[in-house]
């Protein structure tokens, strides 16, 4: 059980699966509603638009492949599709997380209190309003960390052959890491742990966090399931915080 302080440390796939269970807990469900609605409206609408545009975008992208590499088109075509969806889904997931960040922080706070049986200070809607400026500053820090790395990876797509083949793999790994940061950040930020401290803590347990982020990234690609992924990931990351990290940081 994730609320046992002496529970064995599980891998990232376990915590992702726990997220699906935890969103259904009585008393937690009401804090899931707002992140869920924001994700459904924004990500759902964005994906409907994307799939209408793919028929125009993919031929244009494939036309950039030089003639001597056309024999690789059977491999590059699915990689291009996956890449476009990955980039697009991460962009709109990030936008949805910006809008829903205060509600995701509240969900993480309420779930942690439920798992540990120790209510946190400033819990509830009053604490949420007071914390909005700090939460938004934290989102800017994540964006500043993300953008230069994402731009560097996107430039690989302009290198014919090798770049276009390796870029989707690197983008998936980068997305997994960024999604782990995105969702683990809510419980860390609730405890006023700095962004830099959080990254160092996650890096020390990188395989578990990469597994968790990879599962989130994969499910973001699956229609309908991706609409509920935000609260699931928040809950899974909070369970991982309770088991792996909470004891390392002083409560505030």
Query: Side-chain half-sphere of 214: how many Cα atoms within 13 Å?
Result: 14
Of 36, 24, 189, 3, which Cα lies nearest the Cα of 113? Answer: 3
User: CB pairs under 8 A, 24+ apart, for 200-207?
Assistant: 201/245, 201/248, 205/244, 206/177, 207/11, 207/12
- Within 10 angstroms of residue 74's Cβ, the number of other Cβ atoms is 8
Q: What contacts 155, CB < 8 A, 6 or more positions away?
A: none
pLDDT tens-digit readout, 49-75: 777 776 666 666 656 666 665 555 556
Look up tokens 């088109």; give the residue. 73
- Residue span of the structural domain in which 168 resides: 12-246
Look up tokens 């529970």; give the residue. 7
Look at residue 251 and tell me if it is in a domain: no
Look at residue 116 and tell me if it is in a domain: yes
What's the pLDDT band for 238 if we cut at 50, 70, 90? very high
**Share above pLDDT 70 across residues of the chain, in percent, rounded to a whole number:** 74
What's the pLDDT band for 228 if we cut at 50, 70, 90? confident
- Residue 176's pLDDT is what? 93
d(CA 103, CA 106): 5
- Residue 179's pLDDT is what? 92
pLDDT tens-digit readout, 18-35: 999 999 998 888 888 878
pLDDT tens-digit readout, 83-117: 667 666 667 777 777 777 888 888 999 999 999 98
Look at residue 4 and tell me if it is in a domain: no
Look at residue 5 and tell me if it is in a domain: no
Look at residue 252 and tell me if it is in a domain: no
Look at residue 3 and tell me if it is in a domain: no
- Does residue 95 come out as left (phi exceeding 0), alpha (psi in the -120 to 50 range) or beta? alpha
What's the pLDDT band for 3 if we cut at 50, 70, 90? very low
Look at residue 158 and tell me if it is in a domain: yes
What is the C-alpha end-to-end distance of the chain, expressed in Å? 25
Global pTM reads 0.76
Alpha helix (H) residue ranges in the chain: 12-22, 29-62, 73-116, 125-156, 162-190, 195-204, 206-220, 229-240
Look at residue 63 and tell me if it is in a domain: yes
Q: Report the chain's mean pLDDT, rounded to a whole number.
A: 80
pLDDT tens-digit readout, 180-222: 999 999 999 988 899 999 999 999 999 999 999 999 988 987 8
Number of domains in the chain: 1
Tokens of 195: 């962004």
Radius of gyration (Cα) for the chain, nearest Å? 19
């Amino acid at each position: 059980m994730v609320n046992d302080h002496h529970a064995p440390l599980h891998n990232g796939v376990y915590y992702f699966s726990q997220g699906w269970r935890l969103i259904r807990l009585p008393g937690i469900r009401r804090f899931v509603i707002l992140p869920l609605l924001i994700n459904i409206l924004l990500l759902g609408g964005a994906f409907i638009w994307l799939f209408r545009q793919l028929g125009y975008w993919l031929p244009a992208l494939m036309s950039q492949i030089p003639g001597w590499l056309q024999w690789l088109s059977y491999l590059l075509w699915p990689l291009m599709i996956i890449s476009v969806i990955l980039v697009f889904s991460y962009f709109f997931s990030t936008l949805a997380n910006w809008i829903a960040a205060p509600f995701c922080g509240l969900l993480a706070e309420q779930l942690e209190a439920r798992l540990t049986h120790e209510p946190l200070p400033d819990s509830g809607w009053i604490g949420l309003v007071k914390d909005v400026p700090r939460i938004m500053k934290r989102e800017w820090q994540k964006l500043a960390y993300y953008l230069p790395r994402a731009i560097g990876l996107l430039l690989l797509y302009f290198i014919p052959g090798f770049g276009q083949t390796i870029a989707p793999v690197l983008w998936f790994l980068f997305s997994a890491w960024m999604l782990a940061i995105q969702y683990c950040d809510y419980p860390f930020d609730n405890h006023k742990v700095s962004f830099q401290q959080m990254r160092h803590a996650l890096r020390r347990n990188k395989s578990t966090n990469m597994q968790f982020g990879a599962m989130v990234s994969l499910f973001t690609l699956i229609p309908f399931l991706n609409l509920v992924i935000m609260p699931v990931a928040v809950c899974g990351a909070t369970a991982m915080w309770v088991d792996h990290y909470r004891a390392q940081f002083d409560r505030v």
